[in-house]
Structure 1
Amino acid sequence: MRSHLTRNVYLRLLASHGLLRQCPSALPGRCFAVSSRAAPSPLLARRQPRRTFFGIFQKPPRMLKEPELEPGYDVLLHYRSLESENARPPAREDLLKGWRQFIQYKRKSHLRSLNPTQAFLALRLLHHLVTTSPETEGQGEDLSFTDLRAALWVTATKPPKGTTEHHLELATLLYGEIERRIQNMRELGIDEEVIKEAVGGKDGGDFELFLMALTQYGGALEAVGHLAEFRTRLAAKGDKSVARVRVLWTLVLRGLAKEGREAELLAEWGKAEEAKVEYMPPVHEIMTTFYATRDRVAETKQWFEKPVHANWLRSPKVYMEVVRFALRNGEQEWLQPIFEELINCNPQKEWWDVIFQWAVLVMDKGAEDIKQMMQVMMAQAGGKEGTEGVRPDAATIDALITAAIEKQNPYLAERFLSLGSELKIRPRASTYILQMDYRLDAKDFSGVQVIYDKLLKGEVTVRQDEDLPVLNKYLRALCAMPEPDLGRILDITADLEQRHATLEPETVVSLCMIFLHNDNQYDVIDTLSLHTISYSLEERAQVRRAFVEYCLDRRVSTARVWDCYSLLRQFFPETEPDERVRLMDAFFARNRPDMACYIFGHMRSQDSLAQRPTADMYVRCLEGLGRHPEPGPGGDGEGESLRMVHNMLKMDTTVQMDTRLYNALMIAYAACGEPDVAVEFWRDITDSAEGPSYASLAIMFWACELLPFGDRTARGVWQKIQRMDLEVPPDVFWAYCGAIAGSGHLEEVIRLIRGMDASVGYGPGMMTLGVTYNALPGSDRKEQFEAWATAEYPEIWAQLEKKGRTETLRGTKFNIVRDMKA
């Protein structure tokens, strides 16, 4: 089931697969299969092993690793894929079971929050469940208050990385459904005590979670309105307790501060003061931090120095914030009496940890100085070293190491680690993690590996995957080495795989780039399979962009680039059309029009109209074929790729033919050795309502240059231009000269060039002479033209000579570029 979802449902959710021809191979044996609509496509082609008598002892083929989907997530994916296709949804009991599994797993998992894509999928399924009643489906089971509250808790308390608009919608829908059900029970006349028992007895808890979600996900102003309504309801009941709204007001103030809404923040605090809400440490922290992080000195001092209710100590977090504020703004002297006062009030150990950090960061104290301060701390606590709770512990050492890291002083961090050992403080997992962090900054990879081995052996207990961030950093650092140790990298990724840990997108990018450079395609496949399945669209886009940039790197061989593109196409079907066009252009630039056209075909096969090529993209592909025609056995273009693209255009009902498309077809067919077909498109242009453009004229004359007896068609068009007295641009004139010269009419083209001033109003240029020379057949005519041009236009011919010449199958030609544009 996992494999089917990974390879089909989830990918189809992002972008549908289509029927495509088999892709070309950059090198023999390096071709990946293309998906078919007849059946779910494998990630890559895997040949069935053949058992023979002589091969029974051979090593079995490498099997692809399957990703681990989170419990219940397959149901969310499956429902959304059916919804997007307007298909009948699965049975309600299956949807409810999947929903509960997914939410319960998220609630138990400490580090796995709802990413933006998962929030969207959960929102769609919840919308279906709450808008369709169980009775209409013949089933009585429905989401309970417990289910709804658990989902609201997961949504509100686990903020994700990336966009959060779907989290806001999900929280709103969940809370709205809870309130709707409660209101329905009230309308039925059910007693309030019975309602309270039915919903779990937490009438205020749901509202607090809802406000938490609003204030975390950009809805602070909406939260202000909901809080005002809540206070109104309390007042109507005669409840004037400040305690019930203090926590809620703190949430709202924190949300306004997070969104940078200063005016609303001050206004809301003014209302809170009027309602007798005290200036407690949490509010003090919010207001001070708001201004400190913006380096607004006067306001920071004002809010920090404002007396806290009941002389409560300010929070350790706000003390650290003003330490950093003072360092940035040169306010160390202002900070000095603040910390002296804190020391003299004999605070608890959490505040002492901040005092030690202040001493390191601001006072530049070393390990011996900190040791003396610790003795002062223990003496103030009661004069006994064994005083419970006011002794340095692992958290103290962590705080000191963190300060040393902020100072970018790994030697000092090692001294603090030694101090902990001297004080017989047993390090915890976070201590080892910090040690790995600063050793990574110091490029001490052997030292990092020693610490990693200790964690691997279980010398300390690692909880809640707290080491994942530093292990991601370690992997990225290993990948960035001049000569990466692939063995060590694979060992670490294997350990993380056993833990079912999901790597960060930046780490996946680093790993995949290293594996691609070393032709380890299977390791790329495993890495993408195991990790990107649980990424949000934004995180997937981060990995996808790295693959696109790898394909665009001209230093990478064509074989590796095609392998990379095959992986990109299989794992990221949501690749944007603009990115696909860039890849197409890159293969044209590598002179691989066949590969470029397959990329265009993959884009054309998408089911989503938004991912299909537009008329401009057709023009761009055909122009690419004009610049880089597909080589044939004899050096001429075979036109296989061109006919594939042309057939796509014929069958594409979303694209209407116009002059630009006909021009592009003329360019492509003329370049691919079929100028007669190109001239047929000229007739289609002249019969159309839009008619030809100047670009059409230049392209048509170029096709006549390549066409046997093409001068006859060219003369007819030229005579019509003269009869209509049209202004003739230089590119059109030199194209006509090329058409006449291409049929070998040397004297006629010389008369044309001599009479330019009278016929078109300007004289010849370098391109006029160059195009004519290149078009003339045979070395005799070229020599005669060169002798004439050298005598008539010596300066222009000298400019042309600077371009240099190249010997081709059709004679000597100047190195001038005629970039045909539709």
Structure 2
Amino acid sequence: MRSQLTRNAYRRLLAGGPGAPPCPASVLSTYNARARCLAASTPSLTLAKPSRRTFFGVFKKPPRELKAPDVPPGYETLLQFRALEVENARPPEREGLVAGFKEFFNHMKKHGEAPKRGQRVNVPGSINSTQAFLAVRLLRHLLATEDGGDSFTFVDLKNILEIAVRPPSGKADNHLELVRLVYGEVERRIEHMWELGLGEEEIKQAIGIQNKDQHMFFAYFITALTRYGASREAAERMNDYQKHFPKPQADGSYTENDWKVITKANGMWMLVLRGLAKEGLEEELLQLFDKLVEENGVKFLPAIHEIITTFFAERNRITETKKWFSKPLYAGAINSETYMAVVRFALRTNEQEWLESVMEGVVNSEPTKQVWDVVLQWAVLAKGKGVEDIKEMFKIMQSQATEDPTKKLKPDSQTINSLISAAAEINNPYLAERFAILGTELHLPPTIQTRIIQLDYRLDAGDMSGAAEVYDKLQKVVQGDEDVPAVNKYLRALCAQPQPPLERIISVTADLEHRHITLEPETAKSLCEVFLRFDQQFEVIDTLSLHTVSYSLEERAIVRQAMMDYITNSKISTARVWDCYQLLKQFFPETSTEERVRLMDTFFNRKRPDMACYIFGHMRGHGNPAQRPNLDIYVRCFEGIGQYPDAESLRMVHNMLKMDTTVELNTRLYNGLMLAYAACGDPIDALGFWRDITNSREGPSYNSLAIVMWACELAPRGEETARDIWKKMVRMDLEIPKVVFDGYLGALAASGRAQEEVKKLIGEMERGLGLGYGVGVETLGVPYNAIPTMGGKDAFAEWAKLEHPEVWAEVEKTGRRETLDGPKYNIERRFEA
């Protein structure tokens, strides 16, 4: 297990001692310029060296170094440009922006995914929605400024498109916009070359991509439209594109090159059909199918049959599904994907009788091996067949006549995997294990996919020891990243255990780190929850450093929520949640203002106004103006100080307010200042804010009156100011709230000279002063607490007990506490600005 840093050393590290991380400088703006996100400058932390050297220190372990994130080259350029754009600052030199943009996309193309065994080249990686957004902003700037897009070759534009059409694991909100921007530049250039009179061969040479032409860019564009929810537009663009199709020769035939163009176009039409189906556009789907049949002579081939049949099957449209499924094909046979969709449809809609007749016809039609696998799955899913029944069906499959005796059908590993999947689907792990054993009996060793399926269903069954066994076997044979979803599920299951096995969790994460695999956001969230729970700070930092840098803002929010939940958990010690907050501040600078205010309130509720005000200070010092505190947040902070006083914190926040030119003082803000200063034992300055309120155009509010009466209660000779305010209220015939009346009683009682006047006012209120309320707990408790002498308190208590016995009994129920000013009842007084 990795060595850990002690809590005290760790706190010194976060507090800014030796080896403390620098504040991250790389931030990006969200779509509405509200938040900026750490993505490149994640800190690399090491333990500070000890100040003393001893002989025994030779044998100590080296200081723990945290793992640096694998930030794509060039990404810093995208981040830097967006940060400057938000601040309306001058962008860097164009050459550097172009170089960084190209470097980022070239890296994503070459190193997006590690090559699987047997591959000679890497598979291009995808970018997340935030990276796509940053690319759009920078590319739009580069295309609009001097030289336009001339800095990008056609090869550069092709690389961008190739990455942009690859769907990310999360949202793809900005991918289509990036594709539109790049393809628009391609169109502009090709159109310009046509205007210059260049021929098609010359344009191909200008494009400079071997054995490719301009149709390749259009294919990327159509792929993006159909993949990212714009299939209607794809159909319109294909209609325009079709106008330029080659015309047939006199005998109705096409040249070889022309036929290639037609074939490519038909392939793109299939993309459009599939896209319309995915988007649920039934009317457009059927209209396009009719159009293709009538105008293009497209035949009802298995691929089209699968698209339309599956469309209705997934929506449980019984009549339409049966109708389209039974339509005769022009050529070929119904593919296995269509049969599988129909099987699931029939199980959902209770059409097993119809399905059984379909399957009988399939078996009697000498199906392919792939279709036989579907039949076997149907036998498990719908008929409840076991291992012995499946063996009998194997015999039927193997007895199927074929023209070539060497191509006799027989079960293979894919067959076994499909059977295991079917058993897992009906929540029968025992049957799944039986099928796995059957594969061994047939000398079909388990494949990687077998192990992945086994890991999945054992996790569903809660068999953690069995899952661990499968995981260990899987890691010995895995070749690529096909196991990543199942391993993420395994990690989440480990984290969800009542007593999570930390060593096992860390071992699995180390395996993934060694393979340069990025965890799913939900997995990273689970890991952070467990590591925080068990004080594994280094593991939290490693998780955040290695994985969140690759997440979009939406994905980062998932992990951030785990830290928010931890900090706001009142059952966890203040020291631990403060350490967690330091990590949140460091790794998630995009944390919204609303979330930061929630954290500030959390520490006020913990009676740590100093920590709450530090959070306010971090908001005030944020690099993004949109995330700095506004007037409402200042007021909320002052209200918190008013409830949990801290004079030093008050001075710090007030100084920030004095320097903040974006906030205009009004009555609410003055109320907050008056409340905070009164609570911190400075009622004189508090009354100074009252004078500011009375001299302002807005004037006092009822909240102002309640707060100023309290300040008068605390201030020397404050009853004089209270009397003046009371006389003005009476003269103006204002409606006086109870909290103001009770506060006035407290201000008078605090002088020690007006107890009879207090009693008289209480009596007048009871006799119908016209205030609209009667004597309450605060009416008696507030003046009692304010009376400065013990003799005065006793006299008032005797009077209250005699005149208002029931109310005084309620006052006594609140309980008393001893203070330097004598005993006081626990009367809760909360003021709002």
Both proteins in one fold, TM over 0.5: yes
In the alignment, is residue 101 of structure 1 matched against residue 107 of structure 2?
Answer: yes
Partner deviation per Cα, 1:46-103 (whole Å, 9 max, x = no partner): 4245462433332221111111223544454455455554332353455434442333
- Structure 2 residue aligned with 1:19: none
Matched with 1:32 is: 15
Amino acid corresponding to residue 743 of structure 1 in structure 2: S
Question: Are 1:250 and 2:251 an aligned pair?
Answer: no
Q: Partners in 2 of 1:51 and 1:767 — Cα distance? A: 61
Counterpart in the other structure of 2:140: 127
1:302-321 equivalence runs, <5 A? 302-310=323-331, 312-321=332-341
Residue 88 (str. 1) matches residue 88 (str. 2): no
Q: Could you tell me which of 420, 425, 428 is aligned with 1:409?
A: 428
- Aligned CA distance change for structure 1 residues 26 and 714 (closer, same or farther; 3 Å): farther
The 3-state SS of whatever aligns with 1:777 is: coil
Query: Structure 1 812/237 Cα, relative in aligned 2: closer, same or farther at 3 Å?
Result: farther
Alpha-carbon distance in structure 2 between the residues aligned to 1:74 and 1:714: 61
Q: 2:570 corresponds to which residue?
A: 554
Local SS of the residue matching 1:309: coil
Of 353, 362, 367, which aligns to 2:382? 362
Is residue 155 from structure 1 mapped to residue 167 from structure 2 by the alignment?
no
Tell me the SS of whatever aligns to 1:466. coil
Q: For residues 216-231 of structure 1, what are the structure 2 equivalents within 5 Å?
A: 216-231=227-242
Q: 1:466 maps to what in 2?
A: 482
CA 126–762 in structure 1, closer or farther in 2 if over 3 Å, else same: closer
Please give the per-residue CA displacement for 1:339-365, whole angstroms capped at 9, x wherever unaligned: 111111112111111111111101111
In the alignment, does 2:709 pair up with 1:701?
yes
Aligned partner (choices 151, 171, 177) of residue 179 of structure 2: 171
Compute the TM-score of the two structures, normalised by the length of structure 2: 0.88
Give the structure 1 partner of residue 53 of structure 2: 52
Paired residue for 2:301?
280
Question: In the aligned structure 2, how far is the partner of 1:566 from the partner of 1:708?
Answer: 42
RMSD of equivalent CA atoms: 2.7
Which SS does the other structure have where 1:670 is aligned?
helix
In the alignment, the residues of structure 1 paired with residue 248 and residue 683 of structure 2 have an alpha-carbon distance, to the nearest angstrom, of 88
The CA distance in 1 between the partners of 2:791 and 2:319, in whole Å, is 88
What is the aligned partner in structure 1 of residue 32 from structure 2? Answer: none
2:63 aligns with one of 43, 61, 64: 61
> What letter corresponds to residue 208 of structure 1 in structure 2?
A
3-state DSSP of counterpart to 1:121: helix
Deviation at 1:26, TM superposition (A): 13
Partners of 1:381 and 1:72 lie apart in 2 by 60
Find the partner of 1:519 among 516, 535, 544.
Answer: 535
Q: CA deviation at 1:796?
A: 2.5
SS at match of 2:824: strand
Query: Which stretch of the first structure deviates more once superposed, 717-726 or 792-801?
Result: 792-801
Amino acid at match of 1:292: A
Q: Tell me how many residue pairs correspond in the alignment.
A: 781
Q: Residues 681-713 of structure 1, C-alpha deviation per residue, up to 9 Å, x if partnerless?
A: 000000100000111001000111111221111
- C-alpha distance in structure 2 between counterparts of 1:808 and 1:381, whole Å: 100
Between the aligned partners of 1:29 and 1:123, the Cα distance in structure 2 is 41
Aligned to 2:282: 262
Mapped contact 1:738–1:772 kept (Cα < 8 A): yes
**Partner deviation per Cα, 1:7-49 (whole Å, 9 max, x = no partner):** xxxxxxxxxxxxxxxxx99997585338777998946684245
Residue of 465, 470, 474 corresponding to 1:451 = 470
Q: Give secondary structure in 2 for the equivalent of 1:56.
A: helix
**How far 1:111 moved relative to its partner?**
8.1
Distance 1:26 1:752 in 2: 61
Q: What is the TM-score with the length of structure 1 in the denominator?
A: 0.90
Unaligned regions of 5+ residues in structure 2, if any?
Answer: 1-6, 26-40, 114-120
**Residue in structure 2 matched with residue 614 of structure 1 by the alignment:** 630
Counterparts in 2 of 1:318-357, with a 5 A limit? Answer: 318-357=338-377
Q: Does 1:118 align with 2:131?
A: yes
Letter in 1 for 2:760: R
Q: Which amino acid aligns with 2:452?
A: I
Equivalent pair of 1:316/1:354 in contact (CA under 8 Å) = yes
Q: Does 1:648 align with 2:656?
A: yes
- Give yes or no for contact 2:400–2:409 (8 Å, CA) kept in 1: no
The residue type paired with residue 53 of structure 2 is T
Separation in 2 of the partners of 1:35 and 1:776? 53
Question: 2:680 corresponds to which letter in structure 1?
Answer: C
Which residue is 1:487 aligned to?
Answer: 503
Say whether 1:300 aligns with 2:321: yes
The farther-off stretch of 374-383 and 507-516 is 374-383
Q: Name the counterpart of 1:434.
A: 453
Equivalents in 2 of 1:206, 1:381: separation in Å?
47
Relative distance call for 1:284 and 1:539 in structure 2 (3 A) is same
Q: State the AA in 2 paired with 1:413.
A: A
Provide the rounded CA distance (Å) in 2 between the counterparts of 1:714 and 1:452. Answer: 76
CA deviation vs aligned residue, 1:576-607 (integer Å, no higher than 9, x gap): 00000111111111111111110111011112
| Amino acid in the other structure paired with 1:61 | P
With 208-217 and 801-810 compared, the bigger mean Cα shift is at: 801-810
Matched, 1:425 2:467: no
CA–CA separation in structure 1 for the residues paired with 2:518 and 2:452:
18
* Deviations, residues 294-338 of structure 1 (Å, cap 9, x unaligned): 22222222222233323x322222221222222122111111111
Q: Distance in 2 between matches of 1:98 and 1:702?
A: 62
Moved more, 489-498 or 615-624: 489-498
How far residue 740 of structure 1 moved from its aligned partner, in angstroms, is: 0.8
SS at match of 2:749: helix
Q: Which moved more, 1:789-798 or 1:614-623?
A: 789-798
Give identity over the alignment, percent: 53
What CA distance in whole angstroms lies between the structure 2 residues aligned with 1:237 and 1:605? 70
SS in 2 for 1:813: strand
**Greater Cα offset, 473-482 or 25-34:** 25-34
